[in-house]
A and B are shown apart, each in its own frame.
Chain A
Amino acid sequence: MTLTEKLREKISRAFYNHGLLCASYPIPIILFTGLCILACCYPLLKLPLPGTGPVEYSTPVKDYSPPSSEPGHQQGDPSERPDWYLGAPVAYIQQILVKATVSPWHKNFLAVDVFRSPLSRVFQLVEEIRNHALRDSSGIRSLEEVCLQVTDLLPSLKKLRDLLPEHGCLLLSPGNFWQNDRERFNSDPDIIKTIHQHEPKTLQTSATLKDLLFGVPGKYSGVNLYNRKRVVSYTVTLALQRYDSRFLTSLRSRLKLLHPSPNCTLREEHVVHVHFKEEIGIAELIPLVTTYIILFAYIYFSTRKIDMVKSKWGLALAAVVTVLSSLLMSVGLCTLFGLTPTLNGGEIFPYLVVVIGLENVLVLTKSVVSTPVDLEVKLRIAQGLSSESWSIMKNMATELGIILIGYFTLVPAIQEFCLFAVVGLVSDFFLQMFFFTTVLSIDIRRMELADLNKRLPAEACMPSAKPVSRSQTYERQPAMRPATPHTITLQPSSFRNLRLPKRLRVIYFFARTRLAQRLIMAGTVIWIGILVYTDPAGLRTYLTSQVTEQSPLGEAGLPPMPVPGGVLPAGDAKLALSVFPSEPVQLSENQTQQQREQKEGLESRNGLEANQQPWAQGPESPSNGQPEPGTKAEVTWGGEDEEIWRKLSFRHWPSLFSYYNITLAKRYISILPAIPVTLYLNPREALEVRHPQEANRYHSFFPSSLGKLEAVDRPGEALPKLQGHRDVTLYKVAALGLASGILLVLLLFCLYRVFCPKNYGQNGLSHSRRKRGDLPCDDYGYSPPETEIVPLVLRGHLMDIECLASDRMLLVSCCLVGQIRVWDAQTGDCLTVIPKQGLRRDSSGIFDYQESWDQSPDPKNGLEDPFDNSHQLKRMLSPPQPPLFCDQPDLTSLIDTNFLEQATVVAPEPRHRTVCSRHKDTGYNFGRLVEKVYEEQSASNCMNFAGFPAPHGQAASCARTGSARALSCGTGEGGCSARRKSLGDEPLAGFEKSSPVSAWAGDLESSVWSLDLRGNLIVAGRSNGKLEVWDAIEGTLRCSDEEGQSGITALVFLNNRIVAARLNGSLDFFSLETHSSYNHLQFRGTPSRSSIPSSPMYSSNDLIMCQLTHTVPCAHQKPITALKAAAGRLVTGSQDHTLKVYRLEDSCCLFTLQGHSGAITAVYIDQTMGLASGGQDGAICLWDVLTGSRVSHMYAHRGDAPSLTLSPLFPAQDLGCGASLGVISDNLLVTGGQGCVSFWDIGYGDLLQTVYLGKSNESQPARQILVLENAAIVCNFGSELSLVYVPSVLEKLD
């Protein structure tokens, strides 16, 4: 034993034990693996989310200097410095955050007053900023020198030309809406409309103009009619080219001086640098998308191979989960050990998945499901694992080796990739062994349980003793299917494309894939996602705020501390500067004029403010003191105001700069700490700036809201209410959306009702729940369209039906006990039952009688003829009789008497043969007994002949009964010994089973082996060699021939010739002759049907004689198994491997066809002289009947070919071990399966339809299929017949 073998055995044993373990404790192991995955993925939480979001880095504002563009010499800690922090930023952003409120608030103010006067102050503020200049030793520096000069807007943004600055400083403020013109603002009747005129109507993808100009998110600006806090905030945004700390400091201090914010606790310590990543363009996206498409194709094709499991999708999901979580684990583990991924995760992910692969999982599944199914689940898993252990280990080692080779390429990117791949491979192996194996064991167990449940009823009705476990499995996998004779195998790919009309195929495709539903579902999900994301209160803002929280500067040092105005101590240190009085309108004029002296005038202004302070506090203190309706709002500065730019869309700055064709991709901007500005406006000012139209517009509804507003709006409570009440419109939109959604659903429902039939799904309810595996023909999980065809089930036979014959209108069936029933092929009514028990057509009564007779089996009864006669006579008189036979009651009763007499004798006997032998032994010669009666009756018949119109049938019947019995004793042993179809045991079993049947089955003494039907005559060949001609309508025996001794195995009835093939290989030719010359042939049916080829109607008036014209004594050496006649030729096929062709007229043997190497099982000949034969050797030969030469032959089957049909174009054979088949039209093939009939397209081999014959008979195969010419198909399954009409073919024929 070599080393590898030893190793192999060890590995195999280890896997075996492992499999046992996994299958024994599935739940703990799954929990354990879940914990492992979570633990390994935990370090991933620290990783930044992949994406193109901006990255931040902050430096203290103190002694900030722009970084040098050289990466080499930099001060500070280089490890924390991101690699993009090189060189000067694109721009420095300085925001001046203004918070303004009208205070105190009067009750009769309008909603517009909340923001109109605060907005009006922006013009003054902008003017102040624009004109700010720093004077120091180096001269005067104005804003123009440091600010970012922008040029033209992009040509596509012409409509924003008035609103955004061009050819100058990039300075944005809400005043841009009015071109920074105070007069325009004052004359604007509707501020809200002006602000919102450029808001996009559709989904917002980037920053809107309002956001750009206000500099704060729309939610925070407070410019709407429902602003309960009555604080308006906006920013003046300034983009600077250079960082001039002194200029900025002077601007800051000046603004703070002019508009002090007393309770502002904003920290102004950090400059935040925001780096924007490259925007992914379409060119980058296409390869990425392609790799992902390939990845999904790979996963799809891989998981498609998972088969023979309970839940395919579940296992496929488990496989994908295995791979993905192993990748996550690998990244997590690598991070844990200090290796941060530098590669673009999204790009290498597909390659990692492909490298790790799903192969092992599939191999495992395949190996486990191919273990013997009767083993225990544990053992199956263990065996499957151990059998594949070696290859799994080998693959694993190979892959590791390849990846290790890759590691030695010494390219950092490839090394990293390989590292991840190695860790991923190992963790994937771990997960396969623990997670997937356990899931597989659970699945297999579920499948066994399901099979167990399913198998119980099946076994109950299956006569075969062979335990067929996991029948579902067998039907899915042809390779594992046992050779049960009633399953249909077809090569899988041939039913890929349905040969249906294209329209139907499209519809079926839609129906099968549920494409419409899935599309709608996906669309809805995407829509909801977009809604949630773009909703102002929704996910996007949440995410952006989350992102800001994550950043190192995000956490505010201090919690938001709203300082109520009343608590503000009068003796505050900044009190002197705290409140800017309501004078600035006048002051601003001063300031604009005297810009130069501002620096100097600062002190005096301070003095002025100090003077005005008592005035400012004047309105403040009374509002605190007395509960006057006019309340004073207080502007608070909290943590949420710090770096309010974070609440903007992260596309805010890129889109702003992109308007000027400046890209921020791979570059950064530095955002300087905002300068807080607080504005208090007094009511007088608010009233002054009010537009005259506004008073009219808002007057109507405002008081009511104001009242509410007053009730709730105490300064302390204002803050929590702030978020909730801002966007009433949002709720309106939501309600509207809900309503429209409901409407849509209702509409769709109505449409559905209109387009779908009312009883949709009700007819086929019992079928539609069938599982896929039940269908006979769907290896690929494709279920053929459930059919609308409802088969007509003909019931009546008690035993299995053995022979079946039909012409166009009638259908004759014969069961094992020899009962012949004639059915109307159109309606399915049972017309006649032969032999009849009396003249009743109702079949139900017959067996009742017999049962009553059987229950008192008295052997003596049989011998007492008179008693019987009288008894039966009484019985038979009682039912109402058809008028035709009313004159012959006694004769029929005699026949019945014979039956019953026989029945009583035979009933106790278990076996047919013993019956016969006993007859011999005991010497009861029933024949003689009955013959006596017969002679009497025939005498009376002769007497009646002149007078009665139809005596012959009766006479024949009598003769038949007598002769049947006479013959049976002589040739009884011939019948049961050799049955052609190996049914020998079955009838016996049937006899034992059902006593009522056996009661008169024995009466006939021989079963019908062959049957044919022409016109209204049924020709039946019996096992005892007797040939009988019955009238199909009246159920009377017209003539019979009992010359042959050997059982008639096959029968052909053509025109007026009957050819019977016997068991001993002889061939008898009979001819039927009618003795009445008039009314000889009349065509049955209405004149409209006369176009149908002649079907001679032998009227009941005629005396029919059956004459043996020829006998070919030794046509074949062995029993003739197949017999067909057409076009004046008769073809016989025998077990002696030969075929013979006879001329029908003179029974002259024309050819002996040799070529088969096995017994002939099927022969087909049609009017065009095409002859085909199928043999047990699996060969099919085509012959030329005219020359007797073999045209071609093929070996298509391994087994024998039990049935053969020839269509004009193709010879159609049985399918493998198929049960039965027939060809309807040129291209439609019918095959019988387990409880169903399938229609196939011959030309393409596609399954067209499957018709289920019944609900309870899934185990009953359709044994025989007969195609009627009116496109009805008769299937014989068990004791029932089914009539299946094919509507499309019907149409074609009509």
Chain B
Amino acid sequence: MAESDAAPTIPKKCGPYISSVTSHGMNLVIRGIVLFFIGVLLALVLNLLQIQRNVTLFPPDVITSIFSSAWWVPPCCGTASAVIGLLYPCMDRHLGEPHKFKREWSSVMRCVAVFVGINHASAKVDFANNIQLSLTLAALSIGLWWTFDRSRSGFGLGIGIAFLATLVSQLLVYNGVYQYTSPDFLYVRSWLPCIFFAGGITVGNIGRQLAMYECKVIAEKSHQD
């Protein structure tokens, strides 16, 4: 859906050589697939964390299915991560300000680790109340953005993603697809936007790194040609 929207928006900047054009498209697809699987993996792992704490409740007949979560959660997360991961570099390109800050795989790994850590904290650490939990997680998420991204566009996109995702999850819970054990923010948990924000930043980071890799290859290729 959104992934297919994102695909043509990326300008075909490479030269007259057909090979590089096709490899550009190929690259896009590969990137999308990679991001999708990363999203699925993260969704599975983080869901396990949440389930241990009985934060989310899925209908009991679904809970016996694979990996004790609803089947539709990982694909959704995968698709979302593919969209976000492709959206970030695309936005960078449109804005004309390529992201240069800490563009290394080690930094990306660090970012992912911190993101998992935030999830871990939200699932396992005992907080006095929900306000405290939400505030802490918000601070951590902002810290994540500041440490690994520091771009205004990234921040804006992250906020947008968090808003949208929270909205979607509200709708889902409202329609009874699943529910939270102790909702404190309308139907969901109040820390959910923070997690979504951090996730958006993380996936965007991965996507940018992948895109940079692709750009490097294409630049090289055109250089050689």
Give the B-binding residues of A (Cβ under 8 A): 283-284, 286-287, 290-291, 294-295, 297-298, 301-302, 304-305, 347, 350-351, 354-355, 357-359, 362, 402, 405-406, 409-414, 491, 493-494, 1194, 1196, 1210, 1243, 1245
The answer, among A287, A301, A1194, for a CB contact under 8 Å with B45, is: A287
Give the A-binding residues of B (Cβ under 8 A): 19, 41, 44-46, 48-49, 51-52, 68, 104-106, 108-110, 112-114, 116-117, 120-121, 124-128, 132, 135-136, 139-140, 143, 147, 213, 216-217, 220-221, 223-225
Judge whether A357 and B224 touch: CB under 8 Å.
no
Q: How far is the CB of A738 from chain B (nearest CB, A)?
A: 44
Chain A residues in 8 Å Cβ range of B143: 402, 405
A-B contact pairs, 27 of them (CB 8 A): A286-B44, A287-B45, A287-B46, A290-B116, A291-B113, A291-B117, A294-B109, A294-B112, A297-B109, A298-B110, A301-B104, A301-B105, A301-B109, A302-B109, A305-B106, A347-B120, A351-B114, A351-B120, A409-B135, A409-B136, A411-B136, A413-B124, A413-B126, A414-B121, A491-B223, A494-B224, A1210-B225
Main secondary structure on B side of the interface with A: helix
Judge whether A283 and B51 touch: CB under 8 Å.
yes
Bound CA–CA A493/B220 (angstroms): 8
Bound CA–CA A354/B224 (angstroms): 38
Of all chain A residues, which has the CB nearest B113?
A: A354
Judge whether B224 and A1245 touch: CB under 8 Å.
yes
Chain A residues in 8 Å Cβ range of B48: 283-284, 286-287
Chain A residues in 8 Å Cβ range of B223: 491, 1196
Bound CA–CA A355/B139 (angstroms): 15
Bound CA–CA A959/B137 (angstroms): 98
Chain A residues in 8 Å Cβ range of B147: 402
Q: How far is the CB of B169 from chain A (nearest CB, A)?
A: 21
Bound CA–CA A333/B44 (angstroms): 37
Judge whether B45 and A286 touch: CB under 8 Å.
yes
Judge whether B45 and A405 touch: CB under 8 Å.
no
Chain B residues in 8 Å Cβ range of A1245: 220-221, 224
Q: How far is the CB of B59 from chain A (nearest CB, A)?
A: 18
Bound CA–CA A402/B139 (angstroms): 10
Chain A residues in 8 Å Cβ range of B41: 290
Bound CA–CA A1239/B68 (angstroms): 54
Interface centre among B45, B109, B225 (most CB of A within 10 A): B109
The answer, among B116, B140, B213, for a CB contact under 8 Å with A291, is: B116
Of all chain B residues, which has the CB nearest A353?
A: B113
Chain A residues in 8 Å Cβ range of B225: 1194, 1210
Chain B residues in 8 Å Cβ range of A305: 104, 106
Bound CA–CA A305/B49 (angstroms): 33
Chain A residues in 8 Å Cβ range of B117: 291, 350-351, 354
Chain A residues in 8 Å Cβ range of B104: 301, 305
Chain B residues in 8 Å Cβ range of A357: 110
Chain B residues in 8 Å Cβ range of A362: 106
Chain B residues in 8 Å Cβ range of A1194: 225
Chain B residues in 8 Å Cβ range of A295: 113
Judge whether B109 and A413 touch: CB under 8 Å.
no
Bound CA–CA A478/B51 (angstroms): 51
Bound CA–CA A482/B121 (angstroms): 51
Q: How far is the CB of A1120 from chain B (nearest CB, A)?
A: 29
Q: Which 8 A-B pairs have the closest CB atoms?
A: A298-B109, A301-B106, A302-B106, A301-B105, A354-B113, A491-B220, A413-B125, A351-B117
With A350-B113, A1196-B223, A1210-B225 already in contact, 14 other A-B pairs whose C-beta atoms are closer than 8 Å: A287-B49, A294-B113, A297-B109, A298-B113, A301-B106, A304-B106, A351-B113, A351-B114, A359-B106, A406-B139, A409-B135, A411-B125, A413-B121, A1245-B221
Bound CA–CA A284/B45 (angstroms): 10
Judge whether B217 and A493 touch: CB under 8 Å.
yes
Judge whether B139 and A405 touch: CB under 8 Å.
yes
Contacts A413-B126, A494-B220 known; A283 to B113 CB distance under 8 Å? Answer: no
Q: How far is the CB of A9 from chain B (nearest CB, A)?
A: 27
Bound CA–CA A494/B51 (angstroms): 44
Bound CA–CA A409/B140 (angstroms): 11
Of all chain B residues, which has the CB nearest A412?
A: B126
Judge whether A284 and B52 touch: CB under 8 Å.
yes
Interface centre among B49, B52, B110, B128 (most CB of A within 10 A): B110
Chain A residues in 8 Å Cβ range of B125: 411, 413-414
Bound CA–CA A302/B110 (angstroms): 10
Bound CA–CA A413/B44 (angstroms): 25
Of all chain A residues, which has the CB nearest B49?
A: A287
Chain B residues in 8 Å Cβ range of A286: 44-45, 48
Of all chain B residues, which has the CB nearest A281?
A: B52
Bound CA–CA A621/B48 (angstroms): 72
The answer, among B112, B132, B221, for a CB contact under 8 Å with A410, is: B132
Bound CA–CA A493/B135 (angstroms): 43
Q: How far is the CB of B104 from chain A (nearest CB, A)?
A: 7
Bound CA–CA A585/B51 (angstroms): 61
Of all chain B residues, which has the CB nearest A282?
A: B48
Chain A residues in 8 Å Cβ range of B44: 286
Bound CA–CA A359/B111 (angstroms): 13
